[in-house]
C-alpha cells in the first residue's frame, strides 16, 4: 500500500517533506483498510441478507451501546493521532530556522519577482543555496496569489496588504517547478516559475555574476533574452497574436491610439514609460493590468529591449 502513496506523491526534495509524506501515507493506508472493510460489509450484507420472500421477518435491533461506543471511540483516537501529527508537522513548516537565507518575493499578475540581498532581481527563476534553510518573505502587487512548490510540499498565499513567509531547505541541487495556486485571473495557469537549487559555492558565484552576466551580450539578443526571462512574452506576442497586451510586432515607431483618444508614437520614451509606469497610458482596447518593472530592469537592459523591439517590424 505504501507503493500507492509513493506513486501519488511527487519526489520529496525538502527536509520537511518526509513528515508530510509519512502522514499522507498513514492516512491513505488507514483509510484504505477501513474502506475495504466497509465495502466488504456492504457487498456481504447485500448478498447474505437479500430478500428471500415478501414475508421476511427481521429482528428488532434498535441499538447496541457497546458497539456504538466502540465505533465512536476508535475513529476518535485515529483522528486525534492524525490531528497531532499534522499539527506538529505544520509547526515545523511555520517556524523558519534563524540562520535562513532570506529572499524577498513579489508576486505580480502574472509573474514572480525574486529580490536577493545584493539587490539583484530575477523574474520567474528562484535561485537558492542547497543544504541551507531559505526563507521567502512575500507580498503581492495586486490580487491574491499563492506560492507552491510541490516537490518541497510548501505553499503560502501571497497577499497585497501584508507580508507572508515560508521556508524550506533542500539538500540536493536541482530544479523544481513553482506554481501559483490562488486563482488570479486570465494567466493564472501560466504563472509558473522554477526554483534552481545550487551548491553553496555555485550559488555565490551565480549571485555575483548574475547582475552583470548579460552586460556584454549583443543588445538584440540580450533584449530577446530579457523578454523571455522577465515573462513579458506571457502577455505580449512577437508574431502579431493578440494576448492580454498588445503584440510587439510592428510596435516600434507606430502611431498608437490610447484609451483617452490621445495618439502617441511608440518611440524610446513611450516604451520606457510603458515598462516602468505601465498604467500611465493604456492602448485603446486593453485592460490596465501590467505590473511595473521599476527596480527590476536597469537602464541598459531597457535599452537592449528597445533594440530588440526595433527588429520586430
**DSSP 8-state secondary structure symbol assigned to residue 305:** H
Site for another protein, residues 64 to 93, rule: CB under 8 A? 64, 67-68, 71-72, 75-76, 79-80, 82-83, 85-93
Dihedral over alpha carbons 232, 235, 239, 241 (to 10 degrees): 180
Rounded distance, CA 55 to CA 101, Å? Answer: 76
The answer to whether 262 touches 281, Cβ cutoff 8 Å, is yes
Stretch that binds another protein, among 39-47, 123-131, 218-226, 298-306 (CB under 8 A): 39-47
Closest separation between CB of residue 101 and another protein, Å?
21
In a 10 Å sphere around its CB, with 0-12 CB exposed, 13-18 middle and 19+ buried, how is residue 54 labelled? exposed
Angle, helices 299-310 vs 268-276, to 10°: value is 120
What Å distances lie between residue 208 and 100, 199, 219, 308, CA to CA? 19, 14, 21, 26
- Comparing CB distances to another protein, the nearer of 116 and 148 is 148
121 binds another protein (CB under 8 A): no
Scanning the structure block, which residue is given the C-alpha cell 515573462? 231
97 binds another protein (CB under 8 A): no
The answer to whether 100 touches 135, Cβ cutoff 8 Å, is yes
160 binds another protein (CB under 8 A): yes
* # chain residues binding another protein, by CB under 8 A: 85
Q: Binding residue for another protein (CB under 8 A) from 177, 213, 258, 280? A: 177
Stretch that binds another protein, among 115-123, 159-167, 219-227, 305-313 (CB under 8 A): 159-167
241 binds another protein (CB under 8 A): no
Rounded distance, CA 136 to CA 157, Å? Answer: 12
- Comparing CB distances to another protein, the nearer of 184 and 232 is 184
Rounded distance, CA 181 to CA 79, Å? Answer: 27
189 binds another protein (CB under 8 A): yes
259 binds another protein (CB under 8 A): no
28 binds another protein (CB under 8 A): yes
Rounded distance, CA 159 to CA 53, Å? Answer: 65
155 binds another protein (CB under 8 A): yes
Q: Binding residue for another protein (CB under 8 A) from 101, 125, 173, 181? A: 181
Stretch that binds another protein, among 25-33, 123-131, 193-201, 213-221 (CB under 8 A): 25-33
Amino acid at each position: 500500500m505504501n507503493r500507492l502513496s509513493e506513486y501519488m506523491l511527487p519526489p520529496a526534495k525538502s527536509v520537511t517533506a518526509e513528515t508530510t509524506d509519512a502522514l499522507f501515507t498513514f492516512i491513505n493506508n488507514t483509510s484504505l483498510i477501513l474502506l475495504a472493510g466497509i465495502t466488504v460489509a456492504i457487498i456481504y450484507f447485500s448478498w447474505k441478507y437479500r430478500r428471500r420472500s415478501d414475508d421476511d421477518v427481521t429482528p428488532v435491533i434498535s441499538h447496541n451501546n457497546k458497539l456504538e461506543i466502540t465505533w465512536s471511540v476508535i475513529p476518535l483516537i485515529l483522528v486525534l493521532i492524525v490531528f497531532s501529527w499534522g499539527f506538529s508537522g505544520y509547526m515545523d513548516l511555520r517556524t523558519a530556522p534563524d540562520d535562513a537565507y532570506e529572499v524577498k518575493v513579489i508576486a505580480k499578475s502574472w509573474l514572480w519577482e525574486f529580490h536577493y540581498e545584493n539587490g539583484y532581481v530575477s523574474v520567474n527563476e528562484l535561485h537558492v543555496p542547497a543544504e541551507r534553510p531559505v526563507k521567502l518573505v512575500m507580498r503581492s502587487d495586486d490580487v491574491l496569489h499563492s506560492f507552491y512548490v510541490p516537490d518541497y510540499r510548501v505553499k503560502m498565499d501571497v497577499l497585497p496588504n501584508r507580508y507572508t513567509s515560508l521556508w524550506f531547505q533542500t539538500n540536493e541541487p536541482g530544479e523544481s517547478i513553482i506554481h501559483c495556486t490562488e486563482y488570479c485571473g486570465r494567466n493564472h495557469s501560466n504563472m509558473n516559475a522554477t526554483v534552481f537549487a545550487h551548491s553553496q559555492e555555485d550559488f555565490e558565484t551565480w549571485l555575483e555574476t548574475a547582475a552583470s552576466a548579460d552586460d556584454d551580450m549583443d543588445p538584440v539578443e540580450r533584449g530577446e533574452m530579457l523578454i523571455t526571462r522577465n515573462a513579458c512574452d506571457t502577455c505580449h506576442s512577437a508574431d502579431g497574436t493578440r494576448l492580454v497586451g498588445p503584440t510587439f510586432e510592428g510596435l516600434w515607431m507606430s502611431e498608437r491610439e490610447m484609451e483617452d483618444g490621445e495618439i502617441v508614437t511608440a518611440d524610446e520614451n513611450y516604451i520606457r514609460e510603458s515598462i516602468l509606469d505601465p498604467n500611465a497610458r493604456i492602448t485603446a482596447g486593453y485592460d490596465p493590468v501590467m505590473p511595473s518593472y521599476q527596480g527590476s530592469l536597469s537602464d541598459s537592459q531597457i535599452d537592449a529591449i528597445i533594440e530588440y523591439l526595433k527588429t520586430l517590424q
